[in-house]
Structure 1
Amino acid sequence: MRGRPGVYNVIYAYTDERVALAACELAVRLVNHLVQPEEGFDVDAALEEFQLRAQRSSFGPSTAAIIEEAVSRDIPFTRLNEHSLVQLGQGVHAQRIRATMTSRTSALAVDIAGDKNLTARILGSAGLPVPKAETVRSADGAVSAARRVGFPVVLKPLDGNHGRGVCLDLRSDEQVREAFGIAEAQSRRGIVQVESFITGKDYRCLIIGGRMAAIAERVPAHVIGDGEHSVRELVDLTNADPRRGVGHEKVLTRITVDDAAIELVREQGFELDDVPPRDTMVKLVMTGNMSTGGISVDRTFDAHPDNVEIAEEAAQLIGLDVAGIDFICPDITVPVRETGGAICEVNAAPGFRMHTHPTVGEPQFIAKPVVDLLFPPGSPSRVPIVAVTGTNGKTTTSRMLAHIMKGLGRKVGMTSTDGIVIDERLVIKADASGPRSAKMVLQNPRVDLAVMEVARGGILREGLGYDRNDVAVVTNVQPDHLGMRGIDTVEQLARVKSVVVEAVPRDGYAVLNADDPLVREMRRRCSGTVVWFSLEPPGSETREFIEERLRRGARAVVLDPTDRGEMIVLRQGRRAMPLAWTHLLPSTFGGAARMNVANALAAAGAAFALDAPLHDIRQGLRTFNTSYYQSPGRLNRLDVNNIEVFVDYCHNPPGMERLGEFVEGYVKHKQGSTTHRISRIGMVGAAGDRRDEDIRELGYVAAKFFDVLVLREDDNLRRRPPGEAAALLDEGAQKAMAEGARCRTTEIVLDEPTATRHAIVRANAGDLVVLCVDKHARVLSQLEGYTHQAAAGSRADEEQAGDPDLDASDLVLHDVQATSMDDPEVRAAVEPRDG
């Protein structure tokens, strides 16, 4: 229940999303109909319509058989379209199937098999038994060819399939002329093949990987007289079999009575309304294809070895990895060379249902050799998946880990709020922290390791996008996004984020922040091994918690203080492996950026869980920095005309606390080398979909660390009116200032580029400007423009750079801003002038 009486989340498994949504809608409609009857609602009709829709959307028997076998081997699958195109496996290990055509199926072989005349010539040239055949383009040509081949003959479309347009046992010129039109209508190129008619039964030999897998005898669609019902009634009774459906949706196909069927029944001496004698077989189709209503009899273990050898050689000659060889012969148990039988067709992408669901005989498990072909025993099908979640730090942690693994030569696919990155190339620029982005990474054939940033919204909306992750990283859980999608408390938020921990298998790892009580509790949801990380010093409660588990062989990444600084240490049981000094990691700015120290611990723990060598983890952390090229929008440092500028994505109160602590430590370190009083100017904005109290708190926290606050808004106001979010930020800052906070003035400048310019103009050389941005690429481009303008001898802005410290004008501006922002003249006086 989502916290409101009568509102519930219903969770159920599905294979096809569209069918699942239709089932949900129908279920809700049925329940509401029970509570209050809906006028005109026919329950039976709605249910039948849904069942038909589900059957049409479901996989056919052939595809379903292969998927079932893959799932039994723990091979993941992804449906790539609305039909039968499916990916088996992930990343570099992925293989694709479309029905029974595989990634290993030769396109050239498919083209050859689709040309029946060429197929017959290739097989005949190898000495295999094939009927005499010629291709024609006209009825007159068909008659002439039939005379040369010798009656009786068969006419079929040169490039047809499923037995459509095939006319058998033609014994006169008139029959040939009439059959030509039928065959030509089913030919894509208008070419018809005339071949000698081979007498016998119809057998399909299935060859997979060059070996015979199954043989089925195909019996044409027919009815058996009972002395009571007419032919038409017998067809209806036969179609009532629940195993029969439309097309390939079920294991048998319904019999269709068309003009050709009526004519064939008439040739056997009956009309549709006649009652045939008991046990009399009345054929409705000449060919034995399952798609025209035929049935199958399993003959896998009855075939003569010579016939099996011929079928296997035919498949190899054409070059198909999965082939259906059609034999016409009196008896498959006798060599066809002795009985006069022949191969009449070689089929690419042959159907499996006649073998997996024979009408008579034992089913054959033919999906096994297909999956063996794609994934030989012992070969991998999955790429390692690392899921990184948390309120703050997950993007930087993901980037650190991807950088470490790239150093090992891995092709890393990464999703984040900035986009999808494949092997360090940004391929999609968008918020890509959801399940659909994860699926895109796992479909990329270059990826051999996936690092997924997992956000709360994606989990609630669609889940993870995969069935399990080898490593789960949880950085922290802080109050953010509360009041959205039924998540009202930080404890509920923690339960949502713990989904990635629950997705860890028994041989996987969860890298958890031991300093966060909510994250620490997630250990109870982990089936695998926990790797702890902590910023706390030895002797603290958290470290004692970790030490207790280390004594039992656990793993951890911790900080050990020394005379030379803090050392990151990997611990496993009694082993202690020094990794790196925190102050020597570029991303930590001499250890001042404690949030990046924590991110480095989490990334090291994940790399440790992935069995990365120690020196490669160390090298990765030493070479990762927060430049825009490695970590766009995350603590990027720039020098803009001797003003030190940091660009960050900080957007919630806990993140602002960490950012403010960094500013305090960084300025303290820098102040020691200069006599200039370093002023701090901060640009802050809040997402409009946060609660009012959260936005106020963001302003309150920011006021503790900055002398001047420039309050802006995102481009997307998220249903708030312009100025409302900035006003809430100002309320929070005002409260902090009244309590003696550092901030002395606030200025509301709603537009981000204008606010950026205003913050820069407010700073003197040597000051510190921190820009908490919405569109980091736009802001970085703007700052680079200021630098280039200065280098060219022009000013970045015509405004004079003023001292941001407290003065009378600041007080006046602040009072006006707080009380009279609705006045256009006052707003014009407060907002910065254009250059």
Structure 2
Amino acid sequence: MTDGPPAPVQSPSPDLKILSSRVYRGPNVWHYEPAIQLVVDLGVLEDFPTNLLPGFADGLVEMLPGLKSHSCSRGRRGGFVERLHEGTWVGHVAEHVALQLQQSVGHDMRRGKTRQVRGVRGQYNVIYAYSDESVGLAAGELAVRMVNHLVAPEDGFDFRSELEQFIVRGERTAFGPSTQAIVDEAVSRDIPHMRLNTASLVQLGQGVHQQRIRATMTSHTSSVAVDIASNKELTLALLSAAGLPVPRSQSVRTVEEAVRLATKIGYPVVVKPLDGNHGRGVILNLHSADDVRAAFPLAEQESRRGQVIVETFVTGRDYRCLVIDGRIAAIAERVPAHVVGDGTLTLRQLVEKTNADPRRGVGHEKVLTRIKVDEAAIDLAAKQGYSLDDVVPADVMVKLTLTGNMSTGGISIDRTFEAHPENIEIAEEAARVVGLDIAGIDFIAPDITLPVRETGGGICEVNAAPGFRMHTHPTIGDPQYIAKPVIDMLFPPGAPSRIPIVAVTGTNGKTTTSRMIAHIFKGIGKKVGMTSTDGVVIDERLVIRSDASGPRSAKMVLQNPRVDFAVFEVARGGILREGLGYERNDVGVVLNVQADHLGLRGVDTLQQLADVKAVVVEAVPRNGYAVLNADDPLVRAMRRRCSGRIIWFTMAEPGSEIRDSVDDHCRRGGRAVVLEHSDLGDMIIVKEGRRSMQIAWTHLLPSTFGGRATMNVQNAMAAAAASFAAGASLHDIRQGLRTFSTNYYLSPGRLNEVAVEGRTVIIDYCHNVPGMRMLGDFVDKTGASMDTTTELGKVSRIGVIATAGDRRDDDMRELGEVAASHFDVVIVREDTALRGRKRGEVAELVAEGARKAMAQGVRCKQVEIVLDELESTRHAIARSNPGDLIVICVDKHAAVMAELESYGRQAQPGARPDDESEFNNAVADPDFNPEAARSQPD
């Protein structure tokens, strides 16, 4: 656990501290599921494992007895406690404490690991699972405080008080019992869910298949029905008109009107708010005008409209009938809050004893609610002959509320299988009359097992968004699994809940490959949601312009109700920052792993970079596919991380070792996309088992520029493989690739060719060394295909290049060296965002590399520095001649394109039909706004 001999330390001190924290919201480099990462520094505690901290292990277990059940690496109960006594480091202890603290609020989290930060003594990555990220982060912070407190007591640290505050926080952010029951049922059916706010609004399913719930209101719940149920007078009128048994009732606005109405319909009566809920303001069994006058203000206070209902008091037991999708799902008898005497304890003590039940909490945070002793409760007890300090005789029940609502401290008894069929029919009809998909029908009846039309009683209320906890957690009786019919209603058997997801990652080519896949499925008729470094695209409309290759953008697509197919460009940064942001991808594509972004966020080697990109492969399920580049050894090794099937793509020659391996894979029933060479050109072939199916000649695909853009040949092969895996037919793949061009409006900033005053201008996003090698190869082939001389002399190749400021110095110099091998003139510019560098520093490093290559006799004859992107574009145009080839490596492609639009354009001499130049040059779109493009944000 340590690097080198420990430093001499006299005594331990509470030095454990959190250096940074990160929340992963999907599969990540540490685990397949969401996790929290804390980077902690042990300080001097690096030299003190737990066996050298007197009393630490016993004190920790005394504070959190649940740690006894942790198995840790021993694989058996008690394994972690054994490790404590044998000696382990406090970073590892913090991991287990954070997990146990979450379990204390009902989050059953068990996954965790602790690993030392590479090359840094005393620092560790503490990784653990979470359910709610705010609770998970708070658990980590409290865990560190506990560890330090056990090393050396902290003044003012009261663990019991801190734990209670932590539990309250967890309960405040947790789903209520009803929402949690539905979410748990969805999870058990592999239906994905997303929390859309800090309350109970949840999306079940993805894209076009999504349904939403808010507690027990669903996407199917009628707003009109909710309004009807909220108006108790209207509800009873509609039920009465349908011939259902209801008490006589009417709404009033004043006390005197209430008294007159109560006298008219006859005592006893009930007074309640017109549009209240949870039983608040409901006063039962009023026998006189004085009772009505006393009750009226209480009911009026809970009425949002200021109106109060006066209705006949129906005697009997209180039953809640839950109707879901037109059928009874559960019935519970609700018993008002009460205590039962034992002949020893006073009424006050009995309430305290009852509230001590761990199932009781505040409001809806637990399955039962604590009994509240207020003036109404004291008055009710007094009417039964008891004060708070009176001893209640044994077996005598004292009611503390009149209504049986769980929210006022009542209990429930399951009666689902005892109700008379006629009563069930009445409840189901009531839900249909009001129009609710989920309804709570309140019955007052002497006995639910007998018909209410014969015994007396009836429906006193219909509730929208009824609570589930009285049914899922009855005080007496068996729990009813009522979330099942809710999910059956939202997602009938066989109905899909997920949309296909294709994720594309790699060092270079991600954006173009993603666009190709999206274009293929758009041609099939899919509403494709795509994320890329250019933004979020919904059905070919750019809805957000930014670098959207991260997890938050993926969630935006999955929340869009129009999308039925998703293509995600997945960048290294997003994976390291938050994970994938979604649970899994049906097809994971890895194009290549090359030297870029090294030295950032702890990724220093190509193998570490490959481990990051392999997260996409690890997120492929058993019935999914990983599309892997067989020509890249790091990508090829990812096959061991895939739970699903592999589709290879390779440009290797037949007879080579790689091609033989791929062919052997196909002979065993696998799939691959390969190139077959002939005198007519290169043909993209899909192989499955012993079948070989032709896709297209590479030189006839517009994106390949007659086959010269080998990077797009490879991208097209990857797109074909991914589309085939996602269910596209060969005809659809062929048609999609044949119609996909690198013109600006299909593939902005990616190998766009335009003619500017007789010059051929290529716009590309190339910004790293591997990309420059591929772009240089394209430039060489394109230059060779052009006339070698013009009226003004030899054709020149001019390159405008740049790289990001967070690359290593050597990478910047190498970029200049590679560019100098392919261009006659290299113009070095800089991005607007310097990423920590000084202005001009990046350009000087790139130019330094180009000059070094020039000294070795490469093609380049001149290197210039023009820092501003638009100025460098103007400079390249100004110093070039008609017929020259200009390549601009862009940062703000829209602004550069707008600048080029300002020049008078003409048809390029010697246009090549196989390039479809007229298609590639079609920049002048009537919707294109150069001014808006120039102001494109970073």
Band the TM-score falls in, shorter-chain normalisation:
over 0.9
Q: For 2:855, which of 726, 729, 738 is the aligned residue?
A: 738
Q: Does residue 1:563 correspond to 2:669, yes or no?
A: no
2:532 is matched with 416
1:799 is matched with none
Structure 1 residues 116 and 753, CA, compared in 2 at 3 Å: closer, same or farther?
same
Q: Deviations over 1:546-575 (max 9, x none)?
A: 112111111111111111111111111111
2:336 is matched with 220
1:473 is matched with 589
1:595 is matched with 711
1:197 is matched with 313
2:428 is matched with 312
Higher alpha-carbon deviation: 10-19 or 419-428:
10-19
1:47 is matched with 163
**Structure 1 residues 82-101: aligned runs within 5 Å:** 82-101=198-217
* Letter aligned with residue 139 of structure 2: A
**Is the partner of 2:876 in helix, strand or coil?**
helix
Contact 1:703–1:741 (CA under 8 A) maintained in structure 2: yes
Q: For 2:743, which of 606, 609, 627 is the aligned residue?
A: 627
Q: For 1:295, which of 377, 397, 411 is the aligned residue?
A: 411
Q: Does residue 1:511 correspond to 2:621, yes or no?
A: no
* Letter aligned with residue 49 of structure 1: Q
Q: For 2:254, which of 112, 120, 138 is the aligned residue?
A: 138
Structure 1 residues 368 and 534, CA, compared in 2 at 3 Å: closer, same or farther?
same
Q: For 1:615, which of 731, 737, 744 is the aligned residue?
A: 731
2:391 is matched with 275
Q: Deviations over 1:27-51 (max 9, x none)?
A: 3333444456544333332222111
1-structure distance, mates of 2:661, 2:117: 34
How far off is 1:786 after superposition? 2.1
2:844 is matched with 727
**Is the partner of 2:531 in helix, strand or coil?**
strand
Q: For 1:184, which of 269, 276, 300 is the aligned residue?
A: 300
2-structure distance, mates of 1:31, 1:486: 27
2-structure distance, mates of 1:323, 1:493: 54
1-structure distance, mates of 2:117, 2:877: 45
Q: Deviations over 1:187-216 (max 9, x none)?
A: 111111110101111000001111111000
Q: For 2:664, which of 548, 561, 581 is the aligned residue?
A: 548
Q: Does residue 1:760 correspond to 2:909, yes or no?
A: no
1-structure distance, mates of 2:575, 2:540: 25
Q: Does residue 1:426 correspond to 2:542, yes or no?
A: yes
* Letter aligned with residue 393 of structure 2: P
Structure 1 residues 542 and 14, CA, compared in 2 at 3 Å: closer, same or farther?
same
Contact 1:168–1:197 (CA under 8 A) maintained in structure 2: yes
2:119 is matched with 4
Structure 1 residues 397 and 720, CA, compared in 2 at 3 Å: closer, same or farther?
same
* Letter aligned with residue 205 of structure 1: C
Q: Does residue 1:683 correspond to 2:800, yes or no?
A: yes
How far off is 1:375 after superposition? 0.6
Structure 1 residues 39 and 636, CA, compared in 2 at 3 Å: closer, same or farther?
farther
1:819 is matched with none
Q: Does residue 1:782 correspond to 2:936, yes or no?
A: no
Contact 1:203–1:328 (CA under 8 A) maintained in structure 2: yes
Contact 1:509–1:528 (CA under 8 A) maintained in structure 2: yes
Q: Does residue 1:638 correspond to 2:754, yes or no?
A: yes
Contact 2:788–2:794 (CA under 8 A) maintained in structure 1: no
**Is the partner of 2:187 in helix, strand or coil?**
helix
1:810 is matched with none
1:398 is matched with 514
How far off is 1:147 after superposition? 1.2
Q: Deviations over 1:348-393 (max 9, x none)?
A: 1111000000000000011111100001111111111001000100
Question: RMSD in angstroms over aligned alpha carbons?
Answer: 1.4
**Is the partner of 1:523 in helix, strand or coil?**
helix
1-structure distance, mates of 2:653, 2:411: 75
**Is the partner of 1:786 in helix, strand or coil?**
coil
* Letter aligned with residue 546 of structure 2: A
In structure 2, runs of 5+ residues without a counterpart are 1-115, 908-938
Structure 1 residues 33 and 738, CA, compared in 2 at 3 Å: closer, same or farther?
farther
**Is the partner of 1:346 in helix, strand or coil?**
strand
Contact 1:710–1:749 (CA under 8 A) maintained in structure 2: yes
2-structure distance, mates of 1:705, 1:459: 34
Structure 1 residues 219 and 506, CA, compared in 2 at 3 Å: closer, same or farther?
same
1:807 is matched with none
2:603 is matched with 487
**Is the partner of 2:493 in helix, strand or coil?**
coil
Structure 1 residues 252 and 605, CA, compared in 2 at 3 Å: closer, same or farther?
same
2-structure distance, mates of 1:44, 1:699: 62
2:926 is matched with none
Q: TM-score, normalised by structure 1?
A: 0.93
Contact 2:173–2:199 (CA under 8 A) maintained in structure 1: yes
* Letter aligned with residue 374 of structure 1: L
2-structure distance, mates of 1:607, 1:212: 46
* Letter aligned with residue 377 of structure 2: A
2-structure distance, mates of 1:262, 1:705: 92
2:817 is matched with 700
Structure 1 residues 36 and 401, CA, compared in 2 at 3 Å: closer, same or farther?
farther
Q: Does residue 1:710 correspond to 2:827, yes or no?
A: yes
Contact 2:789–2:795 (CA under 8 A) maintained in structure 1: no
**Structure 1 residues 226-265: aligned runs within 5 Å:** 226-265=342-381
1:817 is matched with none
Contact 1:403–1:620 (CA under 8 A) maintained in structure 2: yes
* Letter aligned with residue 689 of structure 1: D
2-structure distance, mates of 1:741, 1:234: 94
Contact 1:385–1:449 (CA under 8 A) maintained in structure 2: yes
1-structure distance, mates of 2:772, 2:148: 47
How far off is 1:780 after superposition? 0.7
Structure 1 residues 787 and 32, CA, compared in 2 at 3 Å: closer, same or farther?
farther
1:152 is matched with 268
Higher alpha-carbon deviation: 279-288 or 690-699:
690-699
Contact 1:415–1:432 (CA under 8 A) maintained in structure 2: yes
1:657 is matched with 773
Q: TM-score, normalised by structure 2?
A: 0.83
How far off is 1:671 after superposition? 3.1
1-structure distance, mates of 2:340, 2:857: 97
2:886 is matched with 769
How far off is 1:11 after superposition? 3.0
**Is the partner of 2:303 in helix, strand or coil?**
coil
- Percent of aligned positions that are identical: 69
* Letter aligned with residue 119 of structure 2: R
1-structure distance, mates of 2:440, 2:719: 52
**Is the partner of 2:477 in helix, strand or coil?**
coil
Higher alpha-carbon deviation: 234-243 or 11-20:
11-20
Contact 2:333–2:414 (CA under 8 A) maintained in structure 1: yes
Contact 1:2–1:487 (CA under 8 A) maintained in structure 2: no
How far off is 1:537 after superposition? 1.7
Q: Deviations over 1:455-486 (max 9, x none)?
A: 11111121111111100000000111111111
Q: Does residue 1:379 correspond to 2:504, yes or no?
A: no
